[in-house]
Structure 1
Amino acid sequence: MAAVLTSPMEVPLSPAGWSPVPSTSRTISVPKPRVLLPVGHGYYAHARRTVHRRTLDQDLDEQEAERLKNESSKANGLEIEDDLGVGDEPESRDLLALDAKEWKRQDHYAVLGLSKFRYAATPDQIKIAHRKKVLKHHPDKKAGEGDSDNDQFFKCIQKAMEILSNPEKRRQFDSVDPYYLQLEEDVDHNELSKLSKTPEGFFKAFRPTFEREAHFSKQTPVPLLGTLDDSKAQVEGFYNFWYNFDSWRSFEYLDKEVNEGSDSRDDKRYTEKKNRTERARRKKEDNTRLRSLVDLALTLDPRIKRIKLEEKEARDRKKSKGNINPLARKEDEERLRREAEAEAQASAKAEVEAAEAVARAEAKKAKQAAANAAKKARRVERAAANIMNAPPTSQD
């Protein structure tokens, strides 16, 4: 058993003249209820750590890294992008009803709410839009709201992010962006001719068309339509560039996939050969379409008429001085006659090509309408088959 030692201790006496301080309160205050609101810097820091599952040290490190990033951006003269409006576009019923299996037919920019940005959307804007769409359409959230029947649109969102976040895949999609394909199909050469009866109408009709086509040019800068007062050298430079336009559109996005489960080399080679042929055909059609558009613009361009008139006036002034011998005058007349014939032939050729382009566009629209009708019929058949094959319920 342990021994207990007692240590003698004497309590010192109080100093002379000391007295206890009298108490200022004789009663304890009654407790009162207070309302604590979840606001303030401390609460938000706690919520941030809880949501991201960070420790206090990890959260402080993240906040410091964000602060340094913002300071670096400001020091380099860069502005931090505002996500206002990114990914907040209204979603139509047709958009929400997209089939994830037919992802090659969907507009990935519209799915992420980036229709007004399209090819100009930055990687950060794409990430912000994807994050918003995921938070809005995640299957877990839909299940919590009682809507767990269909997660097809969420799969479309993920596929759109996969395509647009990959530079190569995004460039392939931009080559066949359905928004621009529809604008190209809607171009009516007859309508452009009607609008171009005045110089103002010509520039109003053709300027947005050439600005849209300039996006596909490998060479930069791209000369645009300009103004009515452009010099002869500027006009010739414009048409020389567009007649030799080098487009980066490649149409790989529309390639057909090899049949799933097929290991046959012959199948793969056949599919690859067919894809190459289709890409070449689409490339040729696109070049022909653009060439016919440039031909039409050249025929209707008021600057060409103005330049020819100025040259004719200059020749007339030179003739009026009497310095041209009869032989030279005859050569000038012959040259003017040949130029007039060449211009008439070019105009007739442009009209024929414009009519052919209109006929091809109408045939293409009819073919697309037939394909859409067949596709709709197949959907109805699949839906009917699913209903017929569905297991009977207890009520049945």
Structure 2
Amino acid sequence: GEGEEEGEEEEEFKLLSAAWELLGSEEKRRQYDSLDYFNDALPTAFRPRADDPGRFFRVFGPVFARQAKFSVARPVPSVGDDETPLEEVQRFYAFWTRFRSWRDFSLLAEYDTAEAEDREERRWMQRQNKNEVERLKRSEMRRLMSAVELAQENDPRLHRAKEERAAERELQRRRKEEALAAEKRAKAEAAEQARAAEAAAAAAAAERASKDSDKAAAKREKEKARSALKKARKELKSLGEEGAAWRARASDLEAVASGLPLVEIEALHATLSAGDDAAGTDALEAALRKVLG
């Protein structure tokens, strides 16, 4: 009947009014879009497979693509693929670890403030609703951050980068060890060379000292022989001094004293001093012949 038609028209009018109100309010549109049919499933575990490296991107790519609609910041980076440069991968995770969402859970609030009987009850409902909405938002962000961490832990690109860094550190460690070993060998060789040079210098110094000592000894012997010769000559010539036994042969004694070697001078002196004039004369004559030729 007419009553039923009017009721249907009134209900349709209410729905249209609600729709226009929803479309005309950005806040209400966001509240509706936050809860509109949406696959907000997030992985809580992931087991990588060596024989299927692309599985990571098939699992996490759609997850972040769906969540991107709630991002306050734009543009939203995507997961990328296995060939995405490491810098972009790092920027991707930096973005999602600081993700700011506009998702609004107000429509899930427990109390309808329109049903409040007075202002005090309405304010109480508003506080309860606010606390519940904030709790839902925190819970959703924890859930999303857990998914981000799970992706980071299993991202094959980050694993490769980590392995490459470890390999580079190992290479640097080996190079450092080799450099230290080379430095140690060089120091040991330098020390050995220094010891050898020191030993050679000591040997050379000892040899020089020995030569100097020999020279000094030779010089002393030479000086001693010179002194002995001088003394022997003086003693031989003294036999021809005034009042001496061989005064008459003083000039001959002078000649042989200057020309004979030490041993012969000493022998001649001994013969002349023995008191045997004949033997002394023969010895002196022989000495003269030797000296004068």
TM normalised by structure 1 equals: 0.39
Equivalent residue for 1:165?
24
Q: Cα 1:194–1:227, aligned 2, differ >3 Å: closer, same or farther?
A: closer
- Preserved CA contact (<8 Å) 1:210 1:224: yes
Ranges in structure 2 where 5+ consecutive residues have no aligned partner: 182-293
- Preserved CA contact (<8 Å) 1:172 1:252: yes
Look up the equivalent residue of 1:311 and give its one-letter code: R
Distance of 1:205 and 1:305 partners within structure 2: 17
* CA apart distance, 1:303: 0.7
Residue 273 of structure 1 pairs with residue 132 of structure 2: no
Look up the equivalent residue of 1:260 and give its one-letter code: E
Residue 232 of structure 1 pairs with residue 86 of structure 2: yes
* CA apart distance, 1:156: 3.4
- Preserved CA contact (<8 Å) 2:43 2:147: no
- Preserved CA contact (<8 Å) 2:42 2:143: no
Q: Cα 1:278–1:166, aligned 2, differ >3 Å: closer, same or farther?
A: same
Whose radius of gyration is greater, 1 or 2? 2
Q: Cα 1:195–1:150, aligned 2, differ >3 Å: closer, same or farther?
A: farther
* CA apart distance, 1:203: 0.5
Residue 199 of structure 1 pairs with residue 53 of structure 2: yes
Distance of 1:162 and 1:196 partners within structure 2: 53
2:117 paired residue among 236, 259, 262? 262
Residue 252 of structure 1 pairs with residue 100 of structure 2: no
2:44 paired residue among 182, 186, 189? 189
- Preserved CA contact (<8 Å) 2:34 2:104: yes
Q: Which structure features the higher share of helix residues? A: 2
* CA apart distance, 1:154: 6.3
* CA apart distance, 1:259: 4.9
TM normalised by structure 2 equals: 0.52
Q: Cα 1:164–1:195, aligned 2, differ >3 Å: closer, same or farther?
A: farther
Distance of 2:8 and 2:51 partners within structure 1: 53
Look up the equivalent residue of 2:92 and give its one-letter code: F
Deviations 1:43-94 (A, max 9, x none): xxxxxxxxxxxxxxxxxxxxxxxxxxxxxxxxxxxxxxxxxxxxxxxxxxxx
Look up the equivalent residue of 1:302 and give its one-letter code: P
Alignment length (residue pairs):
177
Q: Cα 1:197–1:292, aligned 2, differ >3 Å: closer, same or farther?
A: farther
Distance of 2:32 and 2:50 partners within structure 1: 33
Distance of 1:292 and 1:274 partners within structure 2: 27
Look up the equivalent residue of 1:283 and give its one-letter code: K
Equivalent residue for 1:208?
62
* Root-mean-square deviation over aligned CA pairs: 3.1
* CA apart distance, 1:304: 1.2
Look up the equivalent residue of 1:199 and give its one-letter code: P
2:137 paired residue among 263, 276, 283? 283
- Preserved CA contact (<8 Å) 2:31 2:104: yes
Residue 156 of structure 1 pairs with residue 10 of structure 2: no
* CA apart distance, 1:231: 2.9
Deviations 1:223-271 (A, max 9, x none): 21112123332222211111111111232333332253622x3201211
Distance of 1:259 and 1:172 partners within structure 2: 17
* CA apart distance, 1:155: 4.0
- Preserved CA contact (<8 Å) 1:203 1:225: yes
Q: Cα 1:325–1:276, aligned 2, differ >3 Å: closer, same or farther?
A: farther
- Preserved CA contact (<8 Å) 2:30 2:104: no
